[in-house]
Homo-oligomer: A and B are copies of this chain.
Amino acid sequence: MILNASGCLDALTAPEVAREFDAFVTKTVTPLQREGNAPVRIAETDVGMLNSIGLANPGIDTFLADVLPRLLDLGPPVWVSVGGFAAAEYADLCARLERTDAAAIELNLSCPNVAAPEDEATAIVAAARAATGKPLFAKLSPALPDLPAVALAAAAAGADGLALVNTIRGLALDPATLRPRLGTAAGGLSGPALRPVALAAVHTCFRATGLPIVGMGGVETGAHALELIAAGASAVALGTVLFADPGAAARVREELAGEARQRGFADPLAARGVAHADLDGAPPGPVVRVADGARKRSAQVGLKV
């Protein structure tokens, strides 16, 4: 199953690109409209790209009235990414989405403002869980001192799955002036540099929670996608690669099937978690028991536990 990464595709300006995905994830929607950050907002470095878009979005009211209906018309299931600054905001956003045909909700938890990310994750996911019966995916930053603890906290609070990873903080200077290239100075680093980071995050969170995971971070090829699946992902999302290759979904899907076949897997998902199995064939370590609700809701959106 191949999704786009939140914020890396506008299905309304490029519907033919969006239709190549098994599900389409929206850019993060916040309670109020946000213009985003002042330019410059993007810069390429030798190892990835930086962005400081700043969660530009029309706000939940306009999103529900104008955007979501048109997205739903496109065909693929729509996952709505939501973000806020407090648990109550997330709860409110989820409540507003409850009566829509959104297939799932991704909680963008990647910019926590507090010192105890576990507590923050618990509060937000629990509030969102109380507000919706839809499948809930917690999207986490990999830049946490104890990522699996946060993933476990999200699972315990009722997340049905995880989306890993969001960008990490980076900065680039103009080589001539030595001033930051982005208007905000630092921004989010995505692309190739994230690849090993994403693999580590998926690997450790799969082991810790057993939850279905949407893996992302620097995926450019079917081989990259297969590695995330081997580490524990049930689905893979494409972000930065879409900017260079808007047709990447179809290409990666085909490459992924070939890479899996070549290694003797009946289909790509048969490779899920094999990175945890001993080479001599012993099964992977203790598999965490996933709650029935999470199991059921994940299955709704086609993700197996």
Contact = CB atoms under 8 A, between A and B. Distances in A.
Interface of A: 45-48, 50, 112-118, 141-147, 149, 168-173, 175-180, 185-186, 189, 192-193, 195-197, 199-201, 203-204, 223, 226-227, 230-231, 263, 271, 274-275, 277, 279
11 contacts: A46-B195, A48-B193, A48-B196, A141-B145, A142-B168, A143-B168, A144-B145, A147-B169, A170-B199, A173-B230, A178-B230
Nearest to A218: B47
Given A46-B195, A47-B47, A279 B171 contact: no
Contacts of A46: 192, 195
Nearest to A277: B179
B145 A172 contact: no
Contacts of A169: 142, 147, 197, 200-201, 204
Contacts of A263: 176, 178
A167 to B, nearest CB: 11
Given A145-B144, A172-B199, A196-B172, A279 B177 contact: yes
A204 B186 CA distance: 8
